[in-house]
Chains A and B, each alone.
Chain A
Amino acid sequence: MRRHLPHYLMIAPFLILFGAFFLYPILSGLVYSFFEWNAVSLGDFVGFANYFEIWDSRDFGRAASNLLVYISLTVPLGITTAFLLALLVDSFTGRWANFFRSAYFLPVALPAFLAATIWRWIYAPNLGLLNMVLGWFGIPSVNFLNDTSTMIYALIAVDIWVSAGFNMVIILAGLKNIPKELYEAARLDGASKLQQTLFVTIPMLGPVLFFVLTYGVISAMQVFDTPWLLTGSSFISYGGRRNALLFPVMDMMGRAFGSVSFGQAAAYGFMLTIVIVLITLVMFAIRSRLSRQ
Chain B
Amino acid sequence: MTSTKVRRTILGGISAVAVVALTAPSSAQSLDYWVYSDFGQGEAGALQEEFIAEFISEHPDVTIQMSGRGDDDLTAGQIAGAASGTLPDVFMNGLAMGSTLVDVGALANLYDKWMAMPEEYRAQFDPAAVERCMASETELYCLPYTGYGTLLFRNLDVLEASGVDTSTPPATWAEWLEQMQAVSDAGYFAIPDQTLIFNSVAEMYGMVGDNSTWGIDWDTRTTRIDPDVMAQVLEMFVDLSEINSGTSRNDQSTRDLFISGQLAFHTIGPWANPTYEQAAEAGNLNYDFVLMPGIEEGKHGGIQNYEFIGVAPGENEDIAWEFAAYVAGENQMARWASLLSRYNSNAAAMADPEVASLPLIERSVESVKYAMDVQPPYFVEAVPNCHNAIVVDYSAATADGEFSPREGAEEMIAELNDCLAD
Q: Interface residues, chain A, CB within 8 Å of chain B?
A: 38-41, 53, 57-59, 120-121, 124-128, 143, 146-147, 232, 234-239, 241-243, 251, 254-255, 257-261
Contacts and interface: CB of A to CB of B under 8 A. Distances in A.
Nearest to B391: A237
Interface string B170-183: 00000000000000
Nearest to B101: A260
Contacts of B248: 146, 232
A188 to B, nearest CB: 58
Please tell me the size bucket of the interface on B. Answer: 35 or more
13 contacts: A38-B104, A58-B386, A59-B389, A124-B256, A126-B262, A127-B257, A146-B196, A146-B246, A232-B248, A241-B196, A242-B397, A258-B385, A260-B103
A242 B400 CA distance: 10
A146 B247 contact: yes
B91 to A, nearest CB: 15
B393 A125 contact: no
Given A59-B386, A127-B253, A255-B385, A38 B96 contact: no
Nearest to A240: B196
B389 A39 contact: no
A126 B260 CA distance: 11
Contacts of A255: 385
A168 to B, nearest CB: 31
Contacts of A239: 389
Interface of B: 71-72, 75-76, 79-80, 82-83, 96-97, 100, 103-105, 193, 195-198, 245-248, 250-253, 256-257, 260, 262, 382-386, 388-390, 392-393, 396-397, 400, 415, 419, 422
Contact of A146 (B80, B193, B419): B193
B79 A39 contact: yes
Contact of A237 (B105, B246, B251, B392): B392
B393 A243 contact: yes
Contacts of B195: 241
Contact of B100 (A121, A126, A234, A259): A259
Nearest to A256: B79
Contacts of A257: 72, 75-76, 79
Contacts of A53: 422
* Most A C-beta atoms less than 10 A away, residue of B79, B96, B389, B400: B389
A133 B170 CA distance: 37
A57 B256 CA distance: 37
The DSSP consensus for interface residues of chain A is: loop
B257 A259 contact: no
Chain B interface helix/strand/loop/mixed = helix
Contact of B83 (A40, A125, A243, A258): A40
Most B CB within 10 A of own CB, among A120, A146, A238:
A146
Counting chain A CB atoms within 10 Å of each CB, which of B195, B386, B390 scores highest? B386
10 closest Cβ pairs, A-B complex? A124-B253, A143-B246, A39-B83, A254-B385, A259-B385, A258-B385, A40-B104, A259-B382, A237-B388, A242-B396
Contact of B384 (A39, A127, A237, A259): A259
A243 B389 contact: yes
Nearest to A142: B246
A257 B80 CA distance: 9
A41 B85 CA distance: 12
A233 B248 CA distance: 12
A41 B83 CA distance: 8
A241 B422 contact: no
B247 A125 contact: yes
Contact of B252 (A40, A120, A251, A254): A120
B77 to A, nearest CB: 10
A235 B422 contact: no
A237 B389 contact: yes
B193 to A, nearest CB: 7
Contacts of B246: 125, 143, 146-147
Nearest to A264: B385
Nearest to B245: A125
A156 to B, nearest CB: 20
Nearest to A127: B256
A53 B422 CA distance: 8
B251 A39 contact: no
Given A143-B246, A243-B393, A38 B76 contact: no
**Most chain-A Cβ atoms within 10 A of its Cβ — which of B248, B385, B390, B392?**
B385
Given A39-B83, A234-B71, A241-B396, 16 more contacts: A40-B104, A121-B252, A125-B245, A126-B257, A127-B256, A235-B75, A236-B96, A236-B383, A237-B389, A239-B389, A242-B397, A242-B400, A243-B389, A257-B76, A260-B104, A261-B384
A251 B384 CA distance: 12
B250 A232 contact: yes
A272 B75 CA distance: 24
A197 B415 CA distance: 55
Contact of B253 (A41, A125, A259): A125
A127 B260 contact: yes
Nearest to A255: B385
B253 A235 contact: no
Given A232-B248, A235-B75, A242 B103 contact: no
A39 B87 CA distance: 13
Contacts of A254: 385
Contact of A234 (B72, B193, B383): B72
Contacts of B390: 58
Contacts of B389: 58-59, 237-239, 243
Contacts of A38: 103-104
A40 B382 CA distance: 15
A264 to B, nearest CB: 9
Contact of B72 (A125, A147, A235): A235
A127 B253 CA distance: 8
A233 B313 CA distance: 30
Contacts of B256: 124, 127
Contacts of A146: 193, 196, 246-248
Given A39-B83, A126-B257, A143 B104 contact: no
A125 B253 CA distance: 7
A32 to B, nearest CB: 12
Given A58-B415, A234-B71, A235-B75, A39 B104 contact: yes
Contacts of A251: 385
